[in-house]
A and B are shown apart, each in its own frame.
Chain A
Amino acid sequence: MKCEKCEELVGELLDGTLSGEDTSTLNMHLEQCLDCSDVRNDLQSIVSFCQTQRGQYSAPPNEKALWLRIRNIIESESQALVGSVGQTRPRSKSLWADWMSRSWELSIPQLAASVAAIVLIASLATTVGLRRWEGSVGSVSSSSASPAPGVTGAKHRDRMWRQQQSISYWNQRVETNKARWNQEMRDTFDRNLQVIDQAVTDSLNELNQHPEDEVSEEMLNAALNEKLALLREFSDL
């Protein structure tokens, strides 16, 4: 007899349902095979224990906690299964409902801080929006005040807006100090600013006619930088 066949029949042997011939053959194998004999002994001891205890087993420690853990595991597995199927809508709905139904308890300082934060964010957003709008329709040259209607690229507008802000700042500083200059210096400054403004206007017109022309874009940028440099360098006179 082979060991596999022995393992199949050992249960019946212990139950006493095996035929006489098979019983003698099996016993012969068990006498010769130590492993199968151990299996028989183990099984025999389990059966004997069950027969003596008769279903009265000692309870595990903290039985309620054990059942709670088992229930949680089962629920989490079932939720994961539902989520994987793709039922996300009811879940988001429940979150929204949960958010809306949640009660908020705020102290007066917390409430005041929240209101102040909302007002601050709203005013900042309004200011930024207004400046962007003014920048898009504003002039490029502070003195010539020529608009930039054809320059459509947001990148151009954004850069020009930033340059325009700097130019306005330095222009104010120049105007403040200009009274101290002699007439010759004032004439020189005005003459040079006019020349640069002409370069800005030329390159801007060219860019309006050929929006994709990178040379005109470079020239416009260089002219604006040139204007900025002139204002900055004369502002400390």
Chain B
Amino acid sequence: MHTRSLLARLTFSRAHLLSVLAVFALLAPFSGLTYAQKHLSKRYPAGKRVRVELKNISGTIIVESWNRDEVKVSATMESPTANFSPRLVDDGLVIDVMGDNRGRGDVGDVNFKIQVPVNSSVDLETKRGDIRVANIRGGLVRAHVSSEGDIELTGISASQVFAQNTIGNIFFDGEFSRGGTYQFQSTKGDISIRIPSDSAFRLVAAAPTKRIELGQFWNSNFKTVGEGQKYGKFVGDVGDGRSSVMVTNFQGSITFIRR
């Protein structure tokens, strides 16, 4: 009796194994799509004012704040050869995709989603790809795209903000801190800056003529500099001008929007 039931179980297991193998055989042609991408997710302890530095090659970077004193790095790597090792340093976390993959050839896109404490500073670089930063109130927000990629900075209240790309739009929605420095530069793309109506800053804005729109922030104290026809430059104070804002665009527009 015992031996018979054992054989029955063995027979069942063999049938089950065969069916599982059949399922694998059916899914085999599609398995390449799922296997090519590599995922990584890791958490790092951090203080309330951490600094996160990321040097990427290609791919989207998303940074947003969360209500924890730790940094969570989630990455999707297009190529299985891509690799990186975040390093904990004194004041934060350094991720150097560029350095960690030197000599490995083409590593494809590496897409990041990083969650940080709200008072963090973020310094982000990529050769290509979009950068989106949301709800950061630390000392520094820097987003640098060497070539093409949109930059979107929303809910930002940092004393230093730098956003620069070659092709792509730049959108800033945040506040200018008293004494802060803000620089936005694009070669071919539109730059939009959405700030509270009571913002106070000193503005230097240079762009093709008739493509600078200060909207409600324009006042008679603004000076128009330049004798040429191609480019125009506005220099002037809004309010007490306690923060410094510099915007440069070679082929696109500059628009200030009241929030």
Q: What residues of B have a CB within 8 angstroms of the CB of A234 in the complex?
A: 127, 146-147
Contact indicator A188/B147 (Cβ below 8 Å): yes
Top 7 A-B pairs, shortest CB-CB distance: A215-B226, A199-B250, A213-B228, A192-B147, A206-B230, A210-B228, A233-B146
Contact indicator B227/A219 (Cβ below 8 Å): no
A209-237 near B? 1/0 per residue, CB < 8 Å = 11011111011001100100110011011
- A180 in the interface (beta carbon within 8 A): yes
Q: Given A199-B251, A206-B229, A218–B148 Cβ distance below 8 Å?
A: no
B115-152 near A? 1/0 per residue, CB < 8 Å = 00000000000011000000000000000001110000
Contact indicator A189/B147 (Cβ below 8 Å): yes
Interface size class of A (residues with CB under 8 A): 35 or more
Contact indicator B206/A195 (Cβ below 8 Å): no
A223 to B231, CA, bound (A): 13
Which residue from chain A places its CB closest to the CB of B204 in the assembled complex? A218
A237 touches which one: B57, B228, B250 (CB < 8 A)? B57
Which residue from chain A places its CB closest to the CB of B98 in the assembled complex? A236
Q: What residues of A have a CB within 8 angstroms of the CB of B58 in the complex?
A: 185
Q: Given A210-B228, A214-B226, A198–B127 Cβ distance below 8 Å?
A: no
- B158 in the interface (beta carbon within 8 A): no
Which residue from chain B places its CB closest to the CB of A231 in the assembled complex? B146
Contact indicator B231/A230 (Cβ below 8 Å): no
Q: Given A192-B147, A196-B187, A233-B146, A216–B166 Cβ distance below 8 Å?
A: no
Contact indicator B250/A223 (Cβ below 8 Å): yes
Contact indicator A192/B148 (Cβ below 8 Å): yes
- A182 in the interface (beta carbon within 8 A): yes
Contact indicator A188/B232 (Cβ below 8 Å): no
A202 to B57, CA, bound (A): 30
Q: Which of B166, B188, B226, B228 counts the most chain A CB atoms within 10 A?
A: B228
Contact surface of A with B, Cβ cutoff 8 Å: 180-182, 185, 188-189, 191-192, 195-196, 198-199, 202-203, 205-207, 209-210, 212-216, 218-219, 222-223, 226, 229-230, 233-234, 236-237
Q: What residues of A have a CB within 8 angstroms of the CB of B251 in the complex?
A: 195, 198-199, 202
Contact indicator B147/A215 (Cβ below 8 Å): no
Which residue from chain A places its CB closest to the CB of B129 in the assembled complex? A188
- B106 in the interface (beta carbon within 8 A): yes
Contact indicator A230/B146 (Cβ below 8 Å): yes
Q: What residues of A have a CB within 8 angstroms of the CB of B153 in the complex?
A: none
Q: Given A182-B106, A189-B147, A216–B228 Cβ distance below 8 Å?
A: yes
- B77 in the interface (beta carbon within 8 A): no
- B225 in the interface (beta carbon within 8 A): yes
Can you sample 11 A-B contacts with CB below 8 Å?
A: A188-B128, A188-B147, A198-B251, A205-B230, A206-B229, A210-B227, A215-B227, A215-B232, A218-B233, A230-B147, A236-B98
Contact indicator B226/A216 (Cβ below 8 Å): yes
Q: What residues of B have a CB within 8 angstroms of the CB of A230 in the complex?
A: 146-147, 166
